[in-house]
Amino acid sequence: MVRLIAISNPRAGQAFIDYMASREIDIQMMPEGEGQFALWLTDDQHQVEAESELHAFLQNPTARKYQSASWEMAESRTAHFTYPKQGILASLRQNAGPFTLSIMVVCIVAYAGLTLGFGNEVFSLLHFPATDDQQWELWRLFTHALLHFSATHIVFNLLWWWVLGGKIEKLCGSAKLVQLFLLTALFSGLGQYMFEGPAFGGMSGVIYALMGYLWLMGTLAPSRGLSIEPSYVGFMLLWFVAGFFEPFGMAIANMAHLFGLVSGCAIAVFDAKFSRAARNPS
């Protein structure tokens, strides 16, 4: 998909969508927050034509041909901002990709093992390398993120993973989310291990990395379509600071949060400034 533009008037956006549909070119409109709506071209082989037509549309959005197209397409199009009834599983699939969902399933299975009498076995298999004989068991550098030790812990982390990871996977593809997961699980785990030792687990370091990634990408490269609601950032930063005071006596992997946040921000800076997409903007 190719992001064409962000607009504040969804009615005008729908008029352009209908006109392009009459030319058999599919444009999707997605809310971006703060009253903005992005227009996305689903097939990049039509990019030149779509951008040319968009330029003409912006010069005269009330032209008769756009109004006529809206009338012609009114009966056949599906409304973009309705909320049809659907099951939980359908909603999960709609807002996340295969890697997002796969990680959720693995975390749930691991948590079930911990709570159903296999705690020692599951923890021993997945925890961060702690002894000399485990240093070459490289999967441990990443699988510590799959461990959760309470219902609150796993629900909180997987909800954020679904929201943030799902958004990244939908917009950037599974490969980018896999890359982010592996790199930030590695760095957040190393940071926590250096300061607190190997007895930790959870996705929160990765979650803070995804938050930092979306936050900086929305600031440094808004044309890429990645962003995060400011209220989400505010809440997560508030919780980040509160974690150092261990509220309610909770054991919180603060160094994992810190190193995860820093690594996610660092990847965002690289992607925004030095990646191939940054060097060759569409």
Q: Domains of the chain (ranges plus CATH)?
A: 2-73 (3.30.70.2350), 88-279 (1.20.1540.10)
Tens of pLDDT, residue by residue, the chain (282 residues): 788 888 888 888 888 888 888 888 989 888 766 667 888 888 888 888 888 888 888 888 888 887 777 676 655 544 444 444 556 666 667 778 999 999 999 999 999 999 998 989 999 999 999 888 888 899 999 999 999 999 999 999 999 999 999 999 988 999 999 999 999 999 999 999 999 888 899 999 999 999 999 999 999 988 888 889 999 999 999 999 998 887 766 778 899 999 999 999 999 999 998 876 555 555
Residues β-bridged to residue 7: 37
Active site (catalytic) residues: 204, 257
Residues β-bridged to residue 5: 39
Report phi then psi at 32, rounded to 5.
-115, 0
